[in-house]
């Protein structure tokens, strides 16, 4: 008669059969035995583990200019300011005892070396004719005055003689820079306006 324990041994599975599949699964390789891809040797770094410098940074780049916030000038405004002519200065001292330029004293030889003022009516007319130059220092005086020279008297006499003889006077005024050529031309224009002549002036012949 067989023992009860022997039948139980045959019915119960062996421990070796139960452990064999588990050990086989654990020892299975997780990677292929042969591959054609390169191995990643680089170390993966965590972005949060980077070193961050504290404090100010030295920037050697070129500094950008701050944009100019002022209003740009209008077309022609710079040229108008450059050619602006100031004929009076209230801060200048007033000089008394000076005569006004007339049709008589402008041709008189006794007027050589004397200073005469420009009449107010002729002053406005000369401004319209653009007889004044921006290079002339009118802003240093209280009112525009001119020095009558020998060349002024000679020029005005030739103009008077040409009018009396009804001839055409063609005259070229030459001289060094700053010698007073524009002032002589201004005196000739003033003489024409005082005599109520028709005056035509071309201020800038090169333009």
In which domain, by residue range, is 85 found? 78-194
Distance CA 140, CA 90 (A): 10
Q: What is the pLDDT of residue 30?
A: 59
The model's pLDDT over 169-181, given as tens digits with 9 standing for 90+, comes to 999 999 998 888 9
Band (22; pLDDT cuts 50, 70, 90): very low
Distance CA 158, CA 169 (A): 8
Is there a domain that residue 90 lies in?
A: yes
Tally of structural domains, the chain: 1
Q: Which range among 7-21, 130-144, 162-176, 183-197 shows the weakest confidence by mean pLDDT?
A: 7-21
Distance CA 150, CA 112 (A): 6
Is there a domain that residue 59 lies in?
A: no
Is there a domain that residue 157 lies in?
A: yes
pTM above 0.85, yes or no: no
Secondary structure of residue 182 in the 3-state scheme: helix
- What rounded mean pLDDT belongs to the chain? 79
Backbone angles phi, psi at 151, to 5 degrees: -65, -30
Structure tokens at 3: 């023992």
Is there a domain that residue 109 lies in?
A: yes
The model's pLDDT over 95-150, given as tens digits with 9 standing for 90+, comes to 888 899 999 999 999 999 999 999 988 998 998 888 898 888 888 888 899 999 99
pLDDT over 60 at 2, yes or no: no
């Amino acid at each position: 008669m067989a023992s009860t324990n022997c039948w139980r041994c045959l019915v119960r599975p062996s421990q070796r059969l139960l452990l064999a599949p588990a050990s086989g699964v654990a020892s299975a390789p997780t990677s292929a035995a042969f591959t054609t891809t390169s191995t990643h040797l680089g170390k993966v770094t965590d972005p949060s583990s980077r070193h961050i410098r504290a404090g100010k940074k030295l920037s050697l780049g070129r500094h950008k200019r701050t944009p100019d916030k002022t209003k740009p000038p209008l077309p022609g405004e710079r040229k108008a300011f450059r050619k602006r002519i100031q004929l009076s200065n209230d801060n200048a001292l007033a000089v008394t005892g000076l005569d006004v330029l007339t049709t008589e004293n402008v041709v008189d030889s006794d007027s050589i070396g004397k200073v005469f003022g420009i009449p107010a009516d002729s002053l406005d007319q000369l401004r319209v004719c653009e007889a004044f130059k921006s290079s002339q220092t009118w802003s240093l005086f209280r009112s525009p005055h001119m020095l009558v020279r020998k060349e002024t008297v000679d020029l005005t006499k030739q103009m008077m003689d040409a009018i009396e003889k009804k001839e055409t006077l063609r005259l070229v005024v030459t001289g060094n820079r700053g010698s007073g050529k524009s002032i002589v031309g201004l005196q000739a224009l003033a003489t024409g306006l005082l005599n109520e002549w028709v005056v035509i002036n071309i201020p800038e012949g090169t333009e």
